[in-house]
Amino acid sequence: MLDQGKLQVAAEVIRQHYPFVPIKKNGRNYTPRQMTRVFLRDGFIDRYRETKLVYPPALRLLSHYLPEYFPYHKNGKMDEGHIAYWELFPTIDHLVPVARGGMDSEENWVCCSMLTNSIKSNWLLEELQWDLKSPGNPKVWDGMLSWFLRHVEEHKELLAIGYIKTWFNAGMAVSHEHGVKTTKP
């Protein structure tokens, strides 16, 4: 069609079969408490790959105690931070990406690793031929949330670290909402 100068015909084919649909962007905004709620709801499982994930500040404690062996980089640089921050660190993914018109609401949030989130990017599950896996059971795996809360309660000096304090407060609040035990069994 293009070689024959039939631009209007080509335009009509595109309009009917593969139209451009501008998407209104919706902003992203969630707190550590909201994230903890989603991580716990989903059982600290990557909902696309079914891999176990670890509560973010539990990983940071490893870096705090063992910086030489488990380095952390604030921007996620792979050559300066441990790969576990990509493989095991949970984040919120938008099932329907915001860039594709998805809402920034808990109904559209799922737990996945930073690595999976990077791979999925702005694609729909159908486009990747992925499917949404069932949530995990936090009674079986809680992402080390209960360990983290107990450890910080036993080592209150860790609350001087802003990141740890913020996530500790979020973890305590959400744990109480969900009846998660934070004391030693």
pLDDT digits (tens, 9 = 90+) for 157-171: 999 999 999 999 999
Q: What is the phi-psi region of residue 146: left when phi exceeds 0, alpha when psi lies from -120 to 50, beta otherwise?
A: alpha
This prediction has a pTM of 0.84
> Which is nearest to 98 in space by CA: 30, 185, 159?
30
Among 19-28, 68-77, 80-89, 137-146, the least confident range: 19-28
Asked whether the predicted pLDDT for residue 42 surpasses 90, the reply is: yes
> What whole-number distance in Å separates Cα of residue 45 and Cα of residue 56?
13
> What whole-number distance in Å separates Cα of residue 168 and Cα of residue 152?
8
pLDDT digits (tens, 9 = 90+) for 54-67: 999 999 999 999 99
- How many Cα neighbours within 13 Å face the side chain of 113? 20
> What whole-number distance in Å separates Cα of residue 78 and Cα of residue 33?
27
